[in-house]
């Protein structure tokens, strides 16, 4: 065969190889593009948790994700990390996967630090027992574990050496918890949040009125249970400050309810006979503040207790609409009671109601 023909054949062969290489490269590129853009889910369970430990390299994280069935293969992971430029921003934590995701979406999730957290909200005014029920209802653990952790008075011994439990010191708020967080972990965070809420200026304002931490938190818990209206909290606090200053019994129904609940005797209705219960929490029988907080006060109630309104009120009574009528004299108070309690419920009794009438709200100094 002539050399010219050999050269032609060689060029054709080389060209064929180039074409094949280009085709193969294009096929591989298309295949990899498809993998990068196609959501993947390689685990059979309804959800997959992946715990990314602190200090893991992007390569080690990729291996973990591939083994967990979150990412198809290491090549897809490496390309996704390279294309997003997120190699140095991947964050540690536990991640929850439930839907098919592309490698880039997985990278984005770790770069943002979208770690899996469970949330629980404790409203203001709950007791430890009620908080424990919220904790269990949220699926975070057993109520008994929460109640047991709430006995760790060492967490507040510097603030309140007399504390027998953490009643009043578990700050009501919304908390985000990892799956590994225990009741004790949550309790520590709640106490820490309380310490931040009862800031130095509030403690100083309380000290100026002769009240320590335990006393101001106890007073704030009474305010919290008496009214949910922001405009009334400083007024309710003023009533209690004025009665304390004059040595008048606080006559606070929530303290009696707390005493009954502690003995398992409260059925939702407070009767006149209940007001005679012999308990240091019965502020009808015993003057001054009760022995300790009766619930968890929020920030607004703590502020009201430390800085009450400049008012001379000694009494208040429910208007049965969520608000209260305040009075300086017993005569005015009795007039308010007649209008908002006696007359109100007499008129309700004469008019057939579609729903059972509500019991009167708490009223100091009847």
Q: Three-state SS for 326?
A: strand
Same domain, 234 and 183: no
Residue 357 has pLDDT above 70, yes or no: no
Q: What is the pLDDT of residue 220?
A: 98
Same domain, 259 and 366: yes
Same domain, 225 and 303: yes
Same domain, 213 and 173: no
Residues forming beta bridges with residue 56, ordered by sequence position:
none
Q: Tell me, yes or no, whether 48 lies in a domain.
A: yes
Q: Tell me, yes or no, whether 5 lies in a domain.
A: no
**Within 13 Å of residue 65, how many CA atoms lie on the same side as its CB?**
37
Q: Tell me, yes or no, whether 2 lies in a domain.
A: no
Same domain, 156 and 214: no
Same domain, 175 and 37: no
Please give the Cα distance from 147 to 162 (Å, whole number): 19
Q: What is the pLDDT of residue 351?
A: 61
Question: Does the predicted model carry a pTM greater than 0.85?
Answer: no
Count of structural domains, the chain: 3
Spatial contact of 123 and 113, defined as CB atoms under 8 Å apart: no
Same domain, 160 and 236: no
Q: Tell me, yes or no, whether 327 lies in a domain.
A: yes
Same domain, 212 and 346: yes
Spatial contact of 300 and 230, defined as CB atoms under 8 Å apart: yes
Of the two residues 296 and 363, the one the predictor is more confident about is: 296
Q: What is the pLDDT of residue 358?
A: 39
Q: Three-state SS for 166?
A: coil
Same domain, 318 and 360: yes
pLDDT > 70: percent of the chain: 85
Q: Tell me, yes or no, whether 360 lies in a domain.
A: yes
Please give the Cα distance from 295 to 169 (Å, whole number): 9
Q: What is the pLDDT of residue 153?
A: 97
Mean pLDDT of 110-121: 96
Please give the Cα distance from 219 to 237 (Å, whole number): 8
Same domain, 155 and 127: yes
| Domain interval for residue 213 | 206-366
Please, what is the Cα angle at 46 between 41 and 51, to 5 degrees?
Answer: 75
Least Cα distance to 287 among 318, 336, 244, 324 occurs for 244
Q: What is the pLDDT of residue 342?
A: 81
Q: What is the pLDDT of residue 15?
A: 56
By CB atoms closer than 10 A (0-12, 13-18, 19+), residue 323 is: middle
Q: Tell me, yes or no, whether 123 lies in a domain.
A: yes
The residue among 79, 112, 145 that closes a domain is 112
Same domain, 165 and 311: no
Q: What is the pLDDT of residue 5?
A: 58
Q: What is the CATH number of the domain that holds 75?
A: 3.30.1490.480
Least Cα distance to 171 among 122, 119, 117 occurs for 122
Please give the Cα distance from 326 to 359 (Å, whole number): 19
User: Both tokens of residue 363?
Assistant: 């009223």
Place of tokens 């653990």: 141
Q: What is the pLDDT of residues 312-338, one digit of tens each?
A: 999 999 998 999 999 999 999 999 999
Please give the Cα distance from 97 to 69 (Å, whole number): 10
Q: Tell me, yes or no, whether 166 lies in a domain.
A: yes
Residues forming beta bridges with residue 315, ordered by sequence position:
327
Task: Give, in order, the Cα–Cα distances in Å from 39 to each of 32, 48, 151.
Answer: 13, 15, 48
Banded model confidence at residue 9, pLDDT cuts 50, 70, 90? low
Q: What is the pLDDT of residues 243-260, one digit of tens each?
A: 999 999 999 999 999 999
Please give the Cα distance from 202 to 303 (Å, whole number): 7
Q: Tell me, yes or no, whether 16 lies in a domain.
A: no
Same domain, 138 and 227: no
Q: What is the pLDDT of residue 355?
A: 46
Residue 75 has pLDDT above 60, yes or no: yes
């Amino acid at each position: 065969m002539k050399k010219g023909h050999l050269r032609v054949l060689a060029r054709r062969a080389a060209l064929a190889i180039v074409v094949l290489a280009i085709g193969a490269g294009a096929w591989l590129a298309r295949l990899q593009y498809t993998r990068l853009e196609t959501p993947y889910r390689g685990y059979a369970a309804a959800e997959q948790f992946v715990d990314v430990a602190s200090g893991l390299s992007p390569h080690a994280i990729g291996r973990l994700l591939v083994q967990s069935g979150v990412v198809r293969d290491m090549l897809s992971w490496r390309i996704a990390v390279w294309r997003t430029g997120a190699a140095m921003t991947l964050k540690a934590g536990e991640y929850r996967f439930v839907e098919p995701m592309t490698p880039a979406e997985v990278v984005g999730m770790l770069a943002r630090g979208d770690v899996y957290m469970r949330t629980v909200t404790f409203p203001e005014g709950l007791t430890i027992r009620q908080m424990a029920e919220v904790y269990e209802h949220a699926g975070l653990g057993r109520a008994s574990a929460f109640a047991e952790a709430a006995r760790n008075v060492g967490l507040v011994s510097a603030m309140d050496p007399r504390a027998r439990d953490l009643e009043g010191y578990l700050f009501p708020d919304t908390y985000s918890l990892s799956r590994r967080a225990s009741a004790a972990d949550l309790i520590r965070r709640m106490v820490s949040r309380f310490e931040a809420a009862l800031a130095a200026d509030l403690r100083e304002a309380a000290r100026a009125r002769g009240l320590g931490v335990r006393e101001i938190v106890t007073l704030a818990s009474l305010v919290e249970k008496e009214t949910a209206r922001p405009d009334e909290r400083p007024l309710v606090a003023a009533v209690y400050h004025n009665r304390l200053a004059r040595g008048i019994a606080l006559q606070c129904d929530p303290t009696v309810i707390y005493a009954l609940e502690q003995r398992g005797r409260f059925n939702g209705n407070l009767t006149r006979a209940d007001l005679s219960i012999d308990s240091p929490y019965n502020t009808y029988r015993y003057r001054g503040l009760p022995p300790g907080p009766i619930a968890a006060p929020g920030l607004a109630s703590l502020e009201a207790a430390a800085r009450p309104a400049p008012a001379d009120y000694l009494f208040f009574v429910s208007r049965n609409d969520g608000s209260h009528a305040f009075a300086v004299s017993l005569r005015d108070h009795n007039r308010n009671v007649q209008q908002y309690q006696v007359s109100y419920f007499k008129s309700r009794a004469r008019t057939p109601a579609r729903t059972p009438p509500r019991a009167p709200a708490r009223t100091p100094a009847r």
